């Protein structure tokens, strides 16, 4: 392929027409013959060779060792697989080469600078059992069975094949060498002539699965609408009862698709081929077919039909979406490199043998500043928990903004006693669906309102001498009064709602004792919005009112009551007589209404699985709340907490800049943050929560005020000034509807106040003005806000408390 073709291909990766490029390309494996170079490439090689010491003798392996030391930072080994057939012994030799030039070949380091080509192998190691062997230059190397099968599949009868294979080309017993080779992974796949994706031996239905993928790529490439199983035959696809669909499911369920290392292997490879036994296809065919299956809704149908492990939707992407997402990352790699933390989130479900590779396996495709800041280490004393903690700390400190804190805490979904409570445990997949994190900037949750960016600048995480401790600014919002059982398998069924929707009925029973809900909301309104976390199925917008109608119908059909909850609403369609346009369960099986029902089901499963309902209660409020039950942790030796699920008495806190309130548990016998600006306490992070209708922008953002850190650094000259500013800010947040018009005047008063001494005579008048506004709010809405002088105010803004 010429240089012009290469540039065209790279550009077309970001275009719609790339899917038709070079679809008839032929597969071949790299051999011992070097590539044909053009004049420009030959000149590059000559220049490179002139910088090397031609008299330098390559390092020699010890007689007892297969491996010769690697001396150059760009040096790798490749395996020449010697000819053989059938049951012949596997034989090969290791050859050293350099990847210093960014090209589609390597250069020998034996003094000849001869160009070399190789094929990179992407495969699954399988069980960590090395019961097969390959003979290399007089040494016997033990390898896994899965690799032996791959080598026999690619070995040629009459000629050698040259491949890069991690299990053989890297000395796996040398931790220092492994750490040195990790930074070269990106070059290894980029410089390879091509990459072979080995899925394992074929089965009786592998050929039909690959044939279906090729058919789908062609038949559905111009189809944008959702396709149901009854539409298959009309599109020349196999019928919904055909066994070929199960063959496709089995094909996409192979272990290779779950590996973490495949992310960079696919993204960085120029020409990838998927091989299953004696059958093969291209990565382009596979990824495009999965794209069509996903966008048309067929992949969802596949999951519901064949995923027998659970009736409910899984948190992971479905199989086709995972492939499509990986292909999308590949197409955008040359223009956009993702931050390492975002890649960790995206790859949460991916698997690897050494948990440190959850980080190291992404260095080849992350942003350069992340890659250069991390030095891989496989030393026994460098624990994976230290790596995860250091990655999290670096992410928080890279940009001194509390916005990053909110993103980090949404990823904490574990009970790992060997990690600080605020550090995500990337070793384990999520137990709950994330309520807040997104690699985009769009989120329906803004617990700190639209002042989040400003607050983030004013309240960054504070430095702590203890690496396991994170010092934060936070506000105590409320205390948990009641916790339900955890809902492990929330489900909505149309076929037999009275028996199938047991957890929905349990949720309803938990909140049925509430007769009313504060403010203008009803118990039912709070219930249905909490049920779906206030989001639609895309998780990018608020839940539409159509959800309310469907949940109302399902609730009554499940409980046999009408109404099932106080304040329950019924749409005009629900109130019509039967047979005259009345909304019934059968309607939810039709195309349009059925799509809305499935969206409600998806939203509920994401919001509620492995979470309980909680009710928090203050002197003036009762609100629904749900979050993950987690265990408290040791914060600071010698203080150790016993196992303690989130329960009554746990506090709900919001850190400045966070998008979702957090649940914390005091770990020491100290009071929560009080009006004293210098107060502090130790807390362990317990998990996320969503307060239905409780995330008003002003109520939390203004509670932080325009303070900096603590004590004298806060910018307040006297406690009296601090109290005045706090009262003004509290008024703006609680009395939002009547005080917004006075915003300019309040800001003017703040500027005046900040330049006056404690004896400023206008201070008392300002506080009286605030009280008048509060009384007006009370007359209009019938509920005295928390900031009024007759009620204790919220905790002081800006109190710093470490979380461990």
Q: Is-contact 555 508, C-beta < 8 A?
A: yes
CA distance 149 to 256: 15
Whether 189 and 217 share a structural domain: no
Partner residues linked to 259 by β-bridges? 351
Whether 42 and 185 share a structural domain: yes
| 354 belongs to a structural domain | no
Give the distance between the most distant pair of CA atoms in the chain: 99
Q: What is the pLDDT of residue 70?
A: 93
State what percent of residues in the chain have pLDDT above 90.
39
Containing 548, the helix (H) or strand (E) segment is: helix 545-559
pLDDT tens readout for residues 195-214: 999 999 999 999 999 999 99
Q: How many domains does the chain have?
A: 4
- Residue recorded with tokens 């032996």: 148
CA distance 789 to 500: 51
Q: What is the pLDDT of residue 568?
A: 92
CA distance 593 to 755: 61
Least confident of 122-126, 318-322, 751-755: 751-755
Residue 563: pLDDT above 90? Answer: yes
Q: Is-contact 752 761, C-beta < 8 A?
A: no
Containing 474, the helix (H) or strand (E) segment is: strand 470-483
Residue 215: pLDDT above 80? Answer: yes
Q: Name the more confident of 294 and 772.
A: 294
* Residue 797 DSSP symbol: T
Whether 192 and 210 share a structural domain: no
> Which ranges constitute the DSSP H helices of 493-537?
497-500, 502-511, 523-531
Burial string for 335-374 (b: 16+ CB within 10 Å, else e) reads eebbbbbbbbbbbbebebeebbbbbbbbbbbbbeebbeeb
| 419 belongs to a structural domain | no
The two tokens of residue 63 are 């007689």
Q: What is the pLDDT of residue 766?
A: 56
Q: What is the pLDDT of residue 762?
A: 53
Domain boundary among 168, 198, 228: 198
State what percent of residues in the chain have pLDDT above 70.
65
* Residue 668 DSSP symbol: S
Nearest to 621 by CA among 445, 739, 477: 477
| 490 belongs to a structural domain | no
The domain of 59 spans 31-198
Whether 603 and 702 share a structural domain: no
Whether 510 and 453 share a structural domain: no
Q: What angle do CA 690, 622, 679 make, to 5 degrees?
A: 75
CA distance 357 to 660: 30
Q: What is the pLDDT of residue 251?
A: 96
Q: What is the pLDDT of residue 27?
A: 87
| 107 belongs to a structural domain | yes
CA distances from 59 to 62, 81, 630 (A): 10, 22, 54
Burial string for 417-432 (b: 16+ CB within 10 Å, else e) reads eebbbbbbbbbeebbb
Residue 250: pLDDT above 90? Answer: yes
CA distances from 511 to 616, 645, 663 (A): 12, 21, 20
Q: Is-contact 243 205, C-beta < 8 A?
A: yes
- Strand positions, DSSP E, 258-391: 272-276, 279-282
| 386 belongs to a structural domain | no
CA distance 563 to 522: 13
The residues, any chain, with a CB within 8 Å of residue 650's CB and separated by 6 or more, are 479, 480, 663, 664, 665, 686
Whether 800 and 655 share a structural domain: yes
Domain boundary among 296, 313, 334: 334
Mean local confidence (pLDDT), 682-692: 63
Confidence band for 462, pLDDT divided at 50, 70 and 90: low
| 688 belongs to a structural domain | yes
CA distance 282 to 517: 58
Whether 687 and 801 share a structural domain: yes
CA distance 773 to 787: 11
pLDDT tens readout for residues 360-408: 999 999 999 999 999 999 999 999 999 999 999 888 887 654 457 777 8
Q: Is-contact 706 726, C-beta < 8 A?
A: no
CA distance 186 to 718: 57
Whether 796 and 664 share a structural domain: yes
Mean local confidence (pLDDT), 239-243: 95
pLDDT tens readout for residues 339-368: 899 999 989 999 999 999 999 999 999 999
The two tokens of residue 456 are 């983030």
What is the overall mean pLDDT for the chain? 75
pLDDT tens readout for residues 76-90: 999 999 999 988 999
Whether 115 and 39 share a structural domain: yes
| 370 belongs to a structural domain | no
The residues, any chain, with a CB within 8 Å of residue 576's CB and separated by 6 or more, are 582, 583
pLDDT tens readout for residues 573-596: 999 998 888 999 988 888 778 888
Q: What is the pLDDT of residue 786?
A: 39
The two tokens of residue 184 are 């070269």
Nearest to 183 by CA among 345, 365, 348: 365
pLDDT tens readout for residues 15-64: 333 333 455 568 899 999 988 898 999 999 999 988 876 555 556 656 67
| 22 belongs to a structural domain | no
Whether 41 and 171 share a structural domain: yes
CA distance 42 to 582: 78
Residue 160: pLDDT above 80? Answer: yes
For the chain, the distance separating the N- and C-terminal CA atoms, rounded to the nearest angstrom, is 55
Partner residues linked to 98 by β-bridges? 75, 107
Nearest to 426 by CA among 357, 366, 326: 357
Q: β-strand 161-164 against 119-122: which pairing, if any? A: parallel
Q: What is the pLDDT of residue 63?
A: 64
φ, ψ at 197 (rounded to 5°): -95, 110
CA distance 784 to 788: 7
The two tokens of residue 294 are 């996903």
Could you give the angle at which helices 298-306 and 319-332 cross, rounded to 10 degrees?
Answer: 140
pLDDT tens readout for residues 463-519: 567 888 877 766 666 677 778 888 888 889 898 899 999 999 999 998 887 777 666
Domain boundary among 167, 198, 229: 198
Residue 5: pLDDT above 70? Answer: no
Mean local confidence (pLDDT), 772-795: 44
CA distance 299 to 388: 34
CA distance 128 to 132: 12
Q: Is-contact 676 504, C-beta < 8 A?
A: no
The residues, any chain, with a CB within 8 Å of residue 20's CB and separated by 6 or more, are none
Describe the chain by its helix, strand, coil percentages, rounded to 5: 40, 15, 45
Burial string for 450-488 (b: 16+ CB within 10 Å, else e) reads ebbebbbebbbbeeeeeebbbbbbbbbbbebebbbebbe
Whether 576 and 635 share a structural domain: no
The two tokens of residue 396 are 């928080």
The two tokens of residue 277 are 């036994």
CA distance 109 to 445: 56
Whether 58 and 186 share a structural domain: yes
pLDDT tens readout for residues 627-662: 332 222 222 222 222 223 344 444 444 444 444 444
Q: What is the pLDDT of residue 344?
A: 94
Least confident of 102-111, 443-452, 568-577, 599-608: 443-452
Residue 245: pLDDT above 60? Answer: yes
Burial string for 745-774 (b: 16+ CB within 10 Å, else e) reads ebeebbeebeeeeeebeebeebbebbbebb
Containing 143, the helix (H) or strand (E) segment is: strand 139-143
């Amino acid at each position: 392929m010429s240089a012009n073709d290469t540039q065209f291909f790279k550009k077309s990766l970001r275009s719609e027409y790339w899917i038709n490029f070079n679809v008839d390309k032929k597969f071949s494996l790299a051999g011992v013959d070097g590539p044909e170079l053009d004049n420009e490439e030959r000149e590059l090689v000559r220049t490179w060779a002139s910088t090397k010491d031609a008299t330098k003798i390559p390092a020699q392996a010890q007689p007892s060792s297969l491996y010769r030391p690697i001396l150059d930072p760009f040096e790798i080994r490749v395996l020449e697989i010697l000819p053989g057939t059938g049951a012949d012994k596997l034989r090969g030799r290791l050859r050293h080469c350099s990847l210093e030039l960014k090209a589609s070949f390597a250069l020998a380091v034996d003094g000849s600078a001869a160009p070399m080509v190789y094929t990179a192998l992407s495969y699954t190691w399988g069980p960590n059992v090395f019961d097969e062997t390959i003979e290399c230059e007089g040494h016997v190397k033990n390898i896994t069975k899965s690799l032996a099968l791959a080598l026999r599949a690619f070995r040629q009868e009459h000629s050698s094949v040259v491949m890069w294979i991690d299990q053989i080309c890297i000395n796996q017993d040398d931790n220092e060498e492994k750490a040195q080779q990790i930074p070269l992974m990106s070059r290894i796949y980029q410089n390879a002539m091509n990459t072979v994706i080995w899925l394992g031996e074929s089965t009786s239905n592998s050929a039909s699965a690959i044939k279906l993928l090729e058919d789908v790529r062609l038949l559905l490439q111009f189809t944008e609408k959702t396709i149901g199983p009854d539409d298959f035959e009309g599109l020349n696809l196999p019928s919904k009862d055909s066994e070929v669909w199960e063959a496709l499911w089995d094909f996409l369920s192979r272990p290779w698709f779950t590996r973490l290392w495949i992310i960079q292997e696919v993204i960085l490879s120029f020409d990838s081929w998927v091989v299953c036994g004696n059958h093969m296809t291209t990565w382009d065919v596979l990824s495009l077919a999965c794209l069509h299956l996903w966008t048309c809704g067929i992949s969802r149908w596949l999951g519901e039909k064949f995923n027998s492990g659970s009736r409910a939707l899984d948190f992971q992407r479905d199989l086709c979406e995972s492939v499509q997402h990986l292909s999308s990352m590949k197409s955008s790699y040359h223009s956009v490199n993702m931050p390492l933390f975002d890649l960790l989130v995206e790859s949460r479900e991916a698997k690897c043998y050494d948990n440190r590779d959850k980080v190291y396996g992404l260095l080849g495709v992350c942003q350069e500043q992340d890659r250069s800041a991390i030095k891989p280490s496989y030393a026994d004393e460098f624990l994976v928990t230290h790596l995860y903690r250091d990655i999290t700390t670096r992410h928080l400190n890279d940009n001194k903004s509390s916005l990053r804190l909110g993103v980090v805490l949404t990823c904490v979904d574990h009970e790992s006693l060997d990690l600080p409570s605020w550090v995500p445990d990337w070793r384990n997949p999520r137990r709950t669906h994330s309520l807040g994190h997104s690699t985009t900037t769009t989120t329906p949750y803004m617990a700190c309102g639209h002042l989040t960016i400003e607050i983030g600048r004013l309240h960054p995480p504070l430095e702590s001498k203890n690496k396991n401790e994170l010092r934060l600014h936070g506000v105590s919002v409320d205390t948990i009064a009641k916790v339900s059982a955890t809902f492990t398998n929330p489900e909505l069924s149309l076929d037999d709602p009275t028996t199938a929707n047991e957890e929905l009925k349990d949720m309803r029973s938990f909140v049925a004792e509430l007769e009313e809900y504060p403010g203008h909301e009803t118990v039912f309104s709070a219930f249905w919005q909490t049920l779906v976390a206030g989001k639609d199925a895309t998780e990018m917008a608020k839940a539409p009112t159509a959800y309310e109608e469907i949940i109302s119908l399902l609730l009554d059909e499940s409980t046999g009551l009408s109404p099932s909850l106080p304040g329950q609403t019924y749409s005009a369609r629900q109130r019509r007589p039967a047979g005259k346009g009345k909304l019934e369960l059968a309607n939810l099986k039709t195309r349009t209404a059925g799509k809305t029902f499935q969206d409600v089901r998806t939203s509920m499963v994401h919001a509620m699985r492995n979470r309980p309902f909680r009710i928090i209660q203050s002197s003036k409020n009762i609100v629904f709340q749900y979050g993950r039950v987690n265990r408290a942790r040791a914060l600071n030796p010698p203080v150790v907490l016993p196992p303690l699920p989130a329960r009554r008495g746990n506090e709900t806190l919001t850190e400045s800049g966070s998008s979702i309130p957090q649940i914390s548990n005091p770990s020491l016998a100290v009071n929560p943050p009080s009006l004293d600006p210098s107060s502090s306490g130790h807390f362990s992070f317990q998990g996320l929560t969503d307060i239905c209708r409780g995330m008003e922008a002003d109520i939390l953002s203004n509670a932080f005020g325009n303070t900096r850190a603590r004590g004298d650094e806060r910018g307040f000259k006297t406690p009296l000034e601090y109290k005045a500013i706090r009262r003004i800010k509290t008024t703006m947040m609680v009395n939002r509807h009547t005080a917004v018009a006075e915003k300019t005047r309040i800001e003017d008063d703040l500027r005046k106040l900040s330049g006056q001494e404690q004896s400023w005579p206008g201070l008392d008048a300002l506080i009286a003005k605030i009280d008048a506004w509060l009384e007006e709010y009370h007359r209009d809405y019938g509920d005295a806000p928390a900031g009024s002088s007759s009620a204790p105010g919220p905790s002081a803004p800006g109190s710093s408390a470490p979380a461990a």
